[in-house]
Structure 1
Amino acid sequence: MRGADRKRAEVLRMMLDPVRPDVPADIVRRATERGARLLRRRRAARRVIWTLLIVALIVFGVWASAAHPWSVPPTETTPPLEDW
C-alpha cells in the first residue's frame, strides 16, 4: 500500500468506527478563551510595533532638524593662520 492509500484507509476506518472519543464539554469555552487571548496578544504586539515606529520617526525628525544632515559641510581650503 502506498502512503496515500494507507491514509485514506485509516480515515475511512475512523469515520466508520462506531466508537468515537469523548469530547470535553467545555471545549467551546476553552477555544473561545484561547482565541480571545491570541487576538489580545496580536493586538498588543501590533500596538507596540506601531508605537516604536512612530517614536523612531519622531526621534529621526528631531535629530535631522538639529543636525541638518542634508547641508554640505563647509570646506576648509585655507590653512589656519599661525604666528603672523
Structure 2
Amino acid sequence: MGVDPWHDWDAQYEVLPGKEKVVSELKQLAEKADHIYLATDLDREGEAIAWHLREVIGGDENAIAAWCSTKSPKCDSSGF
C-alpha cells in the first residue's frame, strides 16, 4: 500500500503477488451473489479485512459486514 500526497493522500492498494487468482474468483462470485456477508472477528484487524475485501471485490453496497466472536454462534450484522 502507498499513499499519494499530491492527491488528498489517496491510498493505492495492490493485491499481494500470488493472490490474483483468489481475488479474481472472489470477484466472479460476488458478481453473481444477491448478498455478500463479510464475517470477521470483532477487532480492528477483522474490520480492516472486511473493508479491504469489500473494496477489492467491487465495494458493492450489497456487502453486509457481520462481526463474529469465536465464543458465540451469533453474529452482529450492523454493517460498516
TM-score range, shorter-chain basis? under 0.3
RCO higher in 1 or 2 (8 Å CA, sep ≥ 6)? 2
Bigger proportion of residues as strand: 2
TM-score normalised by L of structure 1: 0.21
Structure with bigger gyration radius: 1
